[in-house]
Structure 1
Amino acid sequence: MLYRTAEGPVACRDGVCWALPGGWNDWVDSDKLAQKLARHAQDHAASPDLDEASLAPLAPLLDQEVWACGVTYRRSREARMEESESAGGGDFYDRVYTAARPELFLKATAHRVVGPGDDLGLRSDSSWMVPEPELVLVVTSSGEIVGCTVGNDLSCRDIEGENPLYLPQAKTFDRCAALGPGIRVAEELPGPDTAIRLSISRGGETVFSGETRLADMKRTPRELVGFLFRDNSHPGGCLLMTGTGIVPGDDFALAAGDVMRISIDGIGTLENAVAPLTPGGKGIGLS
């Protein structure tokens, strides 16, 4: 696992950690990241003062953009059609699900992203917001997938359902996405049986829980990255949310203080609460 911390990048394997020299982008924009980390571990002693369990990781990006995919799971297709139909819309989400070209959109710039334990933001003009738990691909500037992490893509279902052209407002705002806790660095991505789990608690009680598996995703990660890099450059690389297969029912909306826990097998758990946005609210910044 590769973590971004206030002191710099840290790599951990089997509970042993190494403080890495250089900046975050020196590592994440490396096509052979797994081999690079293995060589470093072979050539350098571990850092005895670092313990993976006690790290305080930041969101695993610095200045990378976060892009997202929509309607890659059948459950997402159904939910988006319900939103559209409730507002008198058409069947365009069904057409997206079956089309050759996937839906891709710019989700967030780095300052709109929060890390583990930080509050996500409740948009002031939406009354129907939900979390979207997603596998997030970490991609280099040359289009190579070098790892993955856990993501929470907040979505305003009422705004998007009113008109699909409102998607940027439904998806992109301060503290609209969370990423972490770290990057699972591997030459092979998690397999189709990998589970993604979401639980939401309110006042200490679980008010929603759900689970899906990567096998339920209609499109492959490399297919999605291929479309993302068509005539489009990403200096320093980017992160790509691959869509969600868990959507709470139409009677559920996030409320201030709700706590969301998203777990992906082999990567970890991302936990965030939600709170009303305040004027000038910030994400991680570019430190």
Structure 2
Amino acid sequence: MLLYRTASGIFIENAGTWHAVPETNWDALLEIAGLAAYLSQIAASSPAVAAPVTESILAPIVSQEVWAAGVTYFRSRTARMEESKDAGGGSFYDRVYAAERPEIFFKATPQRVAHPGQAMHLRSDSKWMVPEPELTLCINSRGEIIGYTVGNDLSCRDIEGENPLYLPQAKCFKLCAALGPAILIQTEAPAPTTRIHLQIDRAGVVAFEGETTLSQLKRTPQELAGFLYRDNTFPTGTFLMTGTGIVPGDEFTLQSGDVVNITIDGIGTLMNPMA
């Protein structure tokens, strides 16, 4: 079951049929105990409605923070080591990939999150930027994973590679993250065979394309959520990006006008132009 936040209200899509969720506060909705059962009841008892127009779909976030985990795929480990080798930081990424404690960092406030279809921001002081397609956990205030969405952890590889201490500047800036288009409401993790696909279009031509599966994710969603919530509180819940297994080659950087499409099986496609 997919949960959408739109300009005209909140909707669920269940097996191709759409239903309107009774008027409610988004933050309060995500905190309902047994959310999946509550939404299933709405789908079973309310009339079907027309699907909202694509342009009205908003990011599924109101007051939640966005955090992210890094170096959770071997491909990400390799890329981080390559980009930081001249700064002497390569071994950091090798060690954290194998360590018990994952890398977890703050990514964005709601105002820094782009809606589906909204342009994300390319930093003026970076010459090497890439999208990072990531399965993103939706977690309530009690630390329970209530669903999954698509995330784009837009990153500056040159800034982070210059010095690992520059990570906040490489990761957190205006419109540096995107979420959507929907939250897949379920407590169990998506199957390991779930595909994540990235396509970057430039002037109507595919400039880069890549794919991975969740079987390549080294850490479980529950493990990552547990570390994030360790000695931490999130009154309205949070979103946690789980890392990327798709990194374009070192010769590639995003350009203004590029269109990034990230598709995760069972959730949908998150599309954002770059500007």
Could you say whether these structures have the same fold, taking a TM-score greater than 0.5 normalized by the shorter chain as the test?
yes
Q: Counterpart amino acid of 2:109?
A: T
Indicate the residue corresponding to 1:129 in structure 2. 129
Q: 1:117 to 1:248 in 2, by over 3 A?
A: same
Q: CA deviation at 1:15?
A: 2.3
- State whether residues 31 and 146 of structure 1, in contact with CA within 8 Å, keep that contact through their aligned partners in structure 2: no
* Separation in 2, partners of 1:143, 1:154: 25
Task: Measure, in 2, the Cα distance between the counterparts of 1:220 and 1:6.
Answer: 33
Hey, what does 2:226 align to over in structure 1? 226
Equivalent position SS for 1:170: helix
What is the deviation of 1:27? 1.5
Aligned counterpart, 2:145: 145
CA distance in 2, matches of 1:241, 1:89: 23
* Matched position secondary structure for 1:107: strand
Q: How far is 1:53 from its partner?
A: 6.5
Looking at structure 1, the residues matched to 184 and 168 of structure 2 have their Cα atoms a distance apart, in angstroms, of 29
Please give the secondary structure, in 1, of the residue aligned with 2:84. Answer: helix
Partner secondary structure for residue 80 of structure 2: helix
Q: TM-score, normalised by structure 1?
A: 0.92
Q: Is the Cα contact below 8 Å between 1:134 and 1:241 reproduced in 2?
A: yes
- Answer whether contact 2:136 2:240 (CA < 8 A) is retained: yes
Whole-Å separation in 1 of the counterparts to 2:201 and 2:37: 40
Whether 1:201 and 2:201 are equivalent positions in the alignment is: yes
Given that 2:82 and 2:90 are in contact with CA atoms closer than 8 Å, whether structure 1 keeps it comes out as no
The alignment partner of 1:35 has SS state of helix
> 2 CA distance for matches of 1:71 and 1:214?
14
Q: Counterparts of 2:172 and 2:210 in 1: how far apart (Å)? A: 24
Correspondent of 1:41 among 36, 43, 52: 43
CA contact (8 A) 1:137 1:147 kept: yes
Any idea what the Cα deviations from partners look like across 1:237-274, whole Å, max 9, x if unmatched? 00000000000000000010011110000100011110
2:68 corresponds in structure 1 to 68
Deviates more, 1:233-242 or 1:37-46: 37-46
Q: Partner residue of 2:85?
A: 85
> Which amino acid is the alignment partner of residue 35 of structure 1?
A
Asked whether 1:110 is paired with 2:77, we answer no
How far the C-alpha of 1:207 sits from its partner, in A, is 1.0
Residues in 1 aligned to 2:117 and 2:102: alpha-carbon distance in whole angstroms: 32
Contact 2:96 2:103 in 1 (8 A): yes
Q: CA deviation at 1:107?
A: 0.4
The question of whether the paired residues in 2 share the 8 Å contact of 1:16 and 1:52 is answered with no
Show the counterpart of 1:243: 243
**d(CA) in 1 for partners of 2:95 and 2:205?**
38
What is the RMSD of the two structures over their aligned residues, measured on CA atoms? 1.3
| 1:13 corresponds to | 14
* Partner of residue 190, structure 2: 190
Bigger Cα displacement from structure 2, 6-15 vs 68-77: 6-15
- Residue identity in the other structure for 1:142: R
Tell me the residue number matched to 1:267.
Answer: 267
Q: SS of the counterpart of 2:62?
A: coil
1:157-190 CA-to-partner distances (Å, cap 9, x unmatched) read: 0000111111000000000011110101123221
TM-score by length of 2: 0.96
Alpha-carbon shift at residue 43 of structure 1 (Å): 3.3
Could you list the runs of 5+ residues in structure 1 that have no partner in the other structure? Answer: 276-287
CA contact (8 A) 1:68 1:104 kept: yes
Equivalent residues of 2:6, 2:52 under 8 A apart: no
Is 1:162 matched with 2:162? yes
CA distance in 1, matches of 2:89, 2:224: 26
C-alpha contact (below 8 Å) 2:8/2:56 kept by paired residues: no
Q: Does 1:212 align with 2:218?
A: no
Whole-angstrom CA distance in 2 between matches of 1:264 and 1:85: 32
Query: 1:25 is paired with a residue of what secondary structure?
Result: helix
